[in-house]
């Protein structure tokens, strides 16, 4: 279970603290077990800060706390703070990235199930599409409707999510695809062949919708399997 530690403190020397944390990251490279950290500043109190530090588990957090670099960093941190920092230890019971949830819903319901009514809900009117199987870019929600329809008419297929990363407004999905060629595709008559392909899709999200997409896939490999190359 993911574990999060919240460190609450006050300081007028945040620049010095930032330098301290940078040194700690450098000195503990390869030994620390922190997977993600974030520092927040109180808008109502300029000297009030909160650090959110994430670990794979409570046990990994305890390993990190016993590192000599961690102990040295903490002692120096206390010297830069106004009073003793307070700690809150949390087991994460729910972790949901809204953009990832939307992208996964798009793959599951629009692409896999063919529910094209959701395209208007998920994609902006000026959606921009970049696809390695096409020349240049295309704009508008109809791009997704047309592409999904074309792939679903040509193949019985499944998507498998191999890895996914979300950062800021971007969500990248690394996927595997398998399908049976049942209808015309790129001018190729149905072959009945079973095909596979790997690729990745990066979506940029904006105001709760998908605004831009980059599709990268092994198109040449798929064409070889269909006998076109």
The domain that holds 83 is classified in CATH as: 3.30.70.100
Per the DSSP assignment, residues forming a β-bridge with 216 are 200
Q: How high is the pLDDT of residue 1?
A: 72
Domain assignment of residue 147, given as a range? 98-225
- When pLDDT is cut at 50, 70 and 90, the band that residue 228 belongs to is confident
Q: At what angle do helices 68-80 and 58-65 cross, to 10 degrees?
A: 80
For residue range 129-140, list pLDDT tens digits in order.
Answer: 999 888 789 999
Distance CA 38, CA 218 (A): 37
- Is residue 79 domain-shared with residue 117, that is, in the same domain? no
Whether residue 135 sits in one domain with residue 81: no
Q: Which of 40, 63, 91 is the last residue of a domain?
A: 91
91-110: pLDDT as tens digits? 999 888 899 999 999 999 99
Examine the domain organization and report whether 112 and 190 are in the same domain.
Answer: yes
Residues 104, 146 within the same domain: yes
Instruction: Report which DSSP code applies to 188.
Output: B
Counted domains in the chain: 2
Q: Domain holding 110: CATH number? A: 3.10.450.50
**Is the predicted pLDDT of residue 229 greater than 80, yes or no?**
no
Exposed (0-12), middle (13-18) or buried (19+): which is 123, by Cβ within 10 Å?
buried
Average confidence (pLDDT) over 75-102:
93
* Co-location of 77 and 134 in the same domain: no
pLDDT band at 112 (very low <50, low <70, confident <90, very high): very high
pLDDT of 187 strictly over 80: yes
Q: Are residues 165 and 82 in the same domain?
A: no
| Shared domain check, 48 and 109 | no
Q: Look up the pTM and report it.
A: 0.76
Among the three residues 42, 59, 91, which one is the final residue of a domain in this structure?
91
Q: Mean per-residue pLDDT for 28-53?
A: 93
Q: State residue 136's pLDDT score.
A: 82
Across 182-202, average pLDDT: 95
Residues 175 and 194 both lie in one domain: yes
Kindly give, in sequence order, each residue whose CB lies less than 8 Å from that of residue 91, ignoring residues fewer than 6 positions away. 1, 2, 3, 58
**Whether residue 72 is found in the same domain as residue 166:** no
- Report the percent of the chain where pLDDT is more than 70: 100
Quick one: 130 and 200 in the same domain? yes
What's the whole-number average pLDDT of the chain?
94
Q: Indicate if the pLDDT at residue 8 is higher than 90.
A: yes
Q: Give the pLDDT of residue 184.
A: 95
Regarding whether 140 and 165 lie in a shared domain, the answer is yes
Same domain, 65 and 163: no
Query: End of a domain among 76, 91, 106?
Result: 91
Q: Distance between CA atoms of 50 and 97, rounded to whole angstroms?
A: 21
């Amino acid at each position: 279970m993911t574990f999060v530690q919240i460190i609450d403190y006050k300081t007028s020397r945040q620049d010095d603290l930032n330098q301290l944390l940078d040194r700690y990251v450098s000195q503990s490279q390869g030994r620390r077990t922190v997977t993600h950290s974030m520092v927040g500043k109180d808008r109502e109190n300029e000297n009030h800060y909160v650090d959110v530090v994430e670990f794979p588990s409570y046990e990994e957090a305890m390993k990190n706390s016993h590192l000599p670099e961690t102990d040295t960093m903490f002692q120096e941190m206390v010297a830069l703070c106004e009073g003793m920092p307070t700690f809150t230890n949390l087991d994460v019971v729910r972790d949901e990235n809204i953009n990832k949830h939307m992208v996964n819903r798009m793959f599951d319901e629009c692409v896999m199930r063919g529910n094209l009514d959701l395209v208007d809900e998920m994609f902006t009117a000026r959606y921009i599409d970049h696809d390695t199987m096409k020349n240049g870019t295309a704009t508008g929600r109809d791009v997704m409707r047309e592409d999904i329809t074309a792939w679903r008419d040509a193949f019985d297929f499944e998507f498998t999510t191999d890895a996914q990363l979300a950062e800021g407004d971007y969500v990248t999905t690394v996927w595997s695809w398998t399908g049976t060629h049942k209808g015309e595709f790129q001018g190729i008559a149905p072959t009945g062949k079973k095909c596979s392909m790997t690729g990745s899709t990066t979506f940029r999200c904006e105001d709760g919708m998908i605004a831009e997409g980059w599709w990268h896939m092994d198109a040449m490999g798929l064409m070889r399997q269909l006998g076109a190359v």
